[in-house]
């Protein structure tokens, strides 16, 4: 059994590919059942965010190609269309990758904190679906601990640099005075809440929160003196919005070109700044073709984000050192599982040999042989049987000059090297 990570992210695939391979919350449970039902897949976790889709699996050898085809096949996309964008990491590389992802080192925004919550949610969902076991359970619990260490022992999270912050920062560059602007926020998740907080702190004039669940929208809007509407009311309020930031889990766009065109007419073509953070996208790409709309996606925000990251670079180096150390710790635990199996097998074989020799000794006693003679037979025979296979292997290692096995035997049995060499 080995660890395998297969996926794609904002570095390897454009948004139009990422959105086609995204796992929405309504299909994730079925996808996990399908994934772990595949031959050779023993455990699985699916992480799907706006910037990445990744499969974390405990698999048998040879499962990588099957996983590549499963990912494209599940979404009904040609394998050849998807495969060039995929990456795979095995064993220690897989551990390092998950630790880097959870610590924010592999994010579009270096050190962003939201990803850890997304990883925790992905693991909890897989656990609830009985898709995880001993290996992934230990890996993810180890990951959460390491990510916390990175946060507390480095400055990787210093300064507010998130996708939401970048969106608001760009809005400030476009509208010098946010106090005269109205922001329409579509969605009510963590990213939208961050955007609302940044807008509020920068003196936004008015906030409207639209969400499928109006109660959730109301709870969020109330924190920032805004008001809530349902998604079906967006068309009525869009003409009021100077800034639109969208981040929902909808599999289909919630804002189309026609709706925006009608809003622009009512605004007498005053421009609208839009940021679509969602994957799959919430705003139809064709909206960006309208002359009075400035539409940005998560990929477009990269240049804005890069300007805010310089203070985190030194912290990232320190974080990488922490991750390197703790990935070694996890691999040591993983190797111990192999040792545990070996010890169990060796103990079982030894007990079988013991029972065999003990049965022979009992028969000798029943036949009237003196107890001292039977005890000598028992000790001598059992010792020979237990040492026969190791002794034969050590003699062969000595003939072959296999220093690795000889040194390991010396360490295991605590023998002097020269004595071991002379005795084999």
* Strand arrangement, sheet containing 272-276: 227-230, 206-211, 182-186, 243-246, 272-276, 293-297
The CATH superfamily holding the domain 163-305 is NAD(P)-binding Rossmann-like Domain (3.40.50.720)
Neighbouring residues of 372: CB distance < 8 A, sequence distance ≥ 6: none
What is the CATH number that goes with domain 2-158?
A: 3.30.460.30
Q: Is 57 a catalytic residue?
A: no
The three-point CA angle 348-349-350 to 5° equals 90
pLDDT value of residue 87:
97
pLDDT at position 1 is: 81
Distance of alpha carbon 419 from its chain centroid, rounded? 51
Output the CA angle 333-338-339, nearest 5 degrees: 85
d(CA 164, CA 194): 6
- Which residue in 139, 149, 163, 131 sits closest to 23, CA to CA? 131
Count the neighbouring beta carbons within 10 Å of the beta carbon of residue 383.
11
> Among residues 267, 216, 275, which one has the least CA distance to residue 237?
267
Domains 2-158 and 163-305 share a fold: no
**pLDDT for res 203:** 94
Secondary structure E strands in 220-366: 227-230, 243-246, 272-276, 293-297
Contacting residues for 400 by C-beta, under 8 A, at least 6 apart: none
pLDDT in tens, the chain (424 residues): 899 999 999 999 999 999 999 999 999 999 999 999 999 999 999 999 988 999 999 999 889 999 999 999 999 999 999 999 999 999 999 999 999 999 999 988 778 888 999 999 999 999 999 999 999 999 999 999 999 999 888 877 765 567 888 888 889 888 888 999 999 999 998 889 989 999 999 999 999 999 999 999 999 999 999 999 999 999 999 999 999 999 998 999 999 999 999 999 999 989 999 999 998 999 999 999 999 999 999 888 876 676 666 667 778 888 899 999 999 889 888 887 766 667 777 788 888 888 988 999 899 999 999 999 989 998 898 888 888 888 888 888 788 887 777 777 777 666 554 444 444 4
Nearest partner of 189 among 224, 164, 172, judged by Cα = 164
Hey, what long-range contacts does 88-93 have (CB within 8 A, 24 or more apart)?
Answer: 88/4, 88/5, 88/6, 88/64, 89/4, 89/5, 90/2, 90/3, 90/4, 90/5, 90/64, 91/2, 91/3, 91/331, 91/334, 92/327, 92/328, 92/331, 93/5
* pTM score, whole prediction: 0.66
107 marked as part of a ligand binding site? yes
As a whole number of Å, the CA-based R_g of the chain is 31
Question: Which of these is catalytic: 38, 50, 57, 129?
Answer: 50
Give CA separation, 222 vs 102, 229, 336, in Å. 31, 12, 53
Query: What span, in angstroms and rounded, lies between the C-alpha atoms of 279 and 140?
Result: 24
Structure-block tokens of residue 108: 């579009």
33 annotated among ligand-binding-site residues: no
| Cα 2 to Cα 59: distance, rounded to the nearest angstrom | 5
Q: What is the pLDDT of residue 424?
A: 45
50 annotated as a binding-site residue = yes
Instruction: List 255's β-bridge partners, or say none.
Output: 283
Whether residue 187 is annotated as binding a ligand: the answer is yes
Matching residue, tokens 């390991």: 408
Rounded to an integer, what distance in angstroms lies between the CA atom of residue 198 and that of residue 257? 28
- pLDDT of amino acid 415: 54
Residue 37: how many other CB atoms lie within 10 Å: 11
User: Is 191 within any annotated ligand binding site?
Assistant: yes
371 is in an annotated binding site: no
The string of DSSP letters for 22-57 reads ---TTTHHHHHHHHHTSTTEEEEEEEE-SSEEEEEE
Cβ–Cβ under 8 Å, residues 248 and 18: no
What pLDDT does 341 receive?
A: 65
**Would you kindly state where each structural domain of the chain is located, as residue ranges?**
2-158, 163-305, 342-413
Which residue carries 């804002």 as its tokens?
Answer: 255
What is the pLDDT, as a whole number, of residue 309? Answer: 67
114-128 helix and 28-36 helix, angle to the nearest 10 degrees:
60
pLDDT at 308: 61
């Amino acid at each position: 059994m080995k660890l395998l990570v297969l996926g794609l992210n904002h570095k390897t695939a454009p948004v139009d590919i990422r959105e086609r391979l995204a796992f929405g919350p309504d299909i994730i449970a079925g996808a996990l059942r399908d994934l772990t039902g595949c031959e050779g897949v023993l455990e699985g976790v699916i992480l799907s965010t706006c910037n990445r889709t990744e499969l974390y699996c405990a698999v048998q050898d040879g499962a990588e190609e099957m996983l590549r085809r499963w990912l494209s096949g599940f979404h009904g996309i040609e394998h050849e269309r998807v495969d060039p964008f995929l990456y795979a990491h095995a064993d220690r590389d897989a551990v390092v990758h998950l630790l880097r992802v959870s610590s924010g080192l592999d994010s579009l925004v270096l050190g962003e904190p939201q990803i850890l919550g997304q990883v925790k949610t992905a693991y909890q969902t897989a656990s609830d679906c009985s898709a995880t076991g001993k290996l992934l359970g230990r890996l993810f619990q180890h990951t959460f601990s390491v990510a916390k260490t990175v946060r507390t022992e480095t400055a990787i999270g210093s300064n507010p640099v998130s996708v939401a912050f970048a969106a608001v920062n760009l809005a400030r560059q476009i509208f010098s005075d946010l106090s005269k602007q109205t922001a329409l926020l579509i969605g009510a998740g963590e990213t939208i809440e961050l955007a609302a907080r940044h807008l509020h702190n920068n003196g936004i004039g008015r906030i409207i929160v639209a969400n499928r669940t109006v109660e959730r929208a109301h709870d969020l809007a109330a924190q920032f003196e805004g008001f809530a509407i349902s998604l079906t009311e967006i068309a009525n309020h869009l003409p009021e919005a100077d800034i639109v930031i969208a981040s929902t889990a909808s599999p289909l766009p919630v804002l189309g070109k026609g709706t925006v065109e009608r809003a622009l007419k009512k605004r007498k073509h005053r421009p609208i700044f839009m940021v679509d953070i969602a994957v799959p996208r919430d705003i139809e790409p064709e909206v960006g073709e309208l002359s009075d709309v400035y539409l940005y996606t998560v990929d477009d925000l990269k240049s804005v984000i890069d300007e805010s990251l310089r203070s985190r670079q030194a912290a990232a180096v320190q974080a990488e050192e922490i991750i390197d150390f703790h990935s070694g710790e996890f691999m040591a635990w993983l190797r111990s599982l192999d040792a545990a199996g070996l010890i169990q097998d060796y103990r079982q074989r030894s007990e079988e040999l013991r029972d065999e020799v003990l049965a022979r000794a009992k028969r000798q006693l029943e036949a009237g042989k003196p107890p001292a003679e039977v005890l000598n037979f028992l000790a001598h025979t059992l010792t020979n049987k237990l040492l026969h296979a190791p002794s034969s292997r050590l003699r062969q290692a000595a003939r072959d000059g296999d220093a690795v096995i000889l040194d390991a035997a010396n360490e295991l049995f605590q023998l002097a090297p020269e004595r071991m060499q002379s005795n084999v």
